Amino acid sequence: MIGYGFMGAAHSQGWRVAPRFFDLPLTPSMDVVVGRDASGVAAAARKWGWRESATDWREIISRDDIDLVDIVTPGDTHAEIAIAALDAGKHVLCEKPLANTVEEAEAMTDAASRAAARGVRSMVGFTYRRVPAATFARDLVAAGRIGDVRQVRAEYLQDWLMDAEAPLTWRMQKDRAGSGALGDIGAHAVDLTEYITGQRVETVSGILETIVTERPLLGEGVGLSGTARQERGAVTVDDLALFTGRLSSGALASFEATRFRTGRKNALRIEIAGSLGAISFDLESLNELGFYDSTLPETEQGFRRILVTEHDHPYLAPWWPTGHMLGYEHGFSHQVADLVTAIASGTQPEPSFDDGLHVQRVLDAVERSSNDGSAWTPTGS
């Protein structure tokens, strides 16, 4: 695993736990974690159970005893690492968004295609597909339970940047992150919409806004008067993304991604209205799914709450007795289980790098629409 921060912890948990609950056809071996800071990555290795740590990812991917590379670094490094790993014959799991630009994502997808011809697999980490309630929503739509999709509302709402004095980090710098709320969390809203509906976003019209344009840098500086002052740096990404998308069926979808929605901590919410019913999902209540059946008599209609904890629900059979809830981290174990199973069977895991490239094109189209004020901008895929 290359990288060991927040996502590194989540992925490590997935690799540790999945083999203990799922009957996997191959057993993952957590051999080495890589990071730039030798002491920091060594501490992460001890904490999460990696056998060793290293600081040179190029050396690691050249080793014959490494079969798979998991990339959890900032977006500006995804392309270089993934392409090198695939060309070295390593399976690759790469966190979303796939890259910082369409061009990088295209190069990664080309490398994945070359590697697939040699039996080497690749997958992008849109983990929320693997929340059981979200997967069950997809199954209901595919089974025709809500009829034809007519309208979608998808939003990912957080408030962790509300404090204007919170320090500038890599997630607020375009050269490191590619975009702000749009790519960081808006990518999830796009992917989950497409996954549940089975359709793609084909055109968009949107606007991006940077609410706080500069933030303190970490560390103190000294002003011209000789007094200590906090140095500040420019925020070069969006804080808020609002856009409309037209799906391949012609249905309209509205999207919002923000890290400034006061009171919302991690609210990935999607509501899909169809000709026969509707579904509603909120990540802040991730064990539940709202379902509306308009074919019932009027006296019985209304959204009902389905507790998605039955063993017949997706991914639930290996876990706890009915009614015992799962959490955020379980999606990463499901991701490991799906990836390892696909590698063992020689099939393409999903979402593929092609899927990641498509989402990158949607993000790019939103940014272009915002920049030039276009009413509708094709996603190009």
103 and 150 in a single domain? The answer is no
Give the residue numbers spanning the domain of 206.
131-328+350-371
> Which residue, among 129, 152, 125, 97, has the nearest Cα to 270 in the 3D structure?
152
pTM over the 0.85 mark? yes
Provide the pLDDT for residue 380.
Answer: 84
CATH number of the domain residue 35 falls in: 3.40.50.720
140 and 90 in a single domain? The answer is no
Provide the pLDDT for residue 222.
Answer: 41
User: Domain for residue 333, yes or no?
Assistant: no
Distance CA 33, CA 35 (A): 7
User: Domain for residue 341, yes or no?
Assistant: no
Is 25 in contact with 19 (CB distance < 8 Å)?
A: no
Provide the pLDDT for residue 373.
Answer: 86
88 and 182 in a single domain? The answer is no
CATH number of the domain residue 298 falls in: 3.30.360.10
User: Domain for residue 223, yes or no?
Assistant: yes
Under-70 pLDDT residues of the chain: 219-229, 381
355 and 227 in a single domain? The answer is yes
170 and 297 in a single domain? The answer is yes
Provide the pLDDT for residue 225.
Answer: 45
Distance CA 200, CA 381 (A): 9
User: Domain for residue 335, yes or no?
Assistant: no
168 and 279 in a single domain? The answer is yes
Give the DSSP letter of residue 63: -
User: Domain for residue 18, yes or no?
Assistant: yes
102 phi/psi in degrees, rounded to 5: -60, -40
pLDDT in tens, 111-122: 999 999 999 999
Provide the pLDDT for residue 377.
Answer: 87
pLDDT in tens, 244-259: 999 999 999 999 999 9
What residue spans of the chain are helical by DSSP H?
6-21, 38-48, 57-61, 78-87, 102-116, 132-142, 174-177, 181, 187-197, 330-345, 353-372
Retrieve residue 356's tokens.
């990641």
Contacts of 20 (CB under 8 A, 6+ apart): none
Domain termination residue (choose one: 125, 155, 189)? 125
106 and 140 in a single domain? The answer is no
Distance CA 47, CA 35 (A): 14
Domain count, the chain: 2
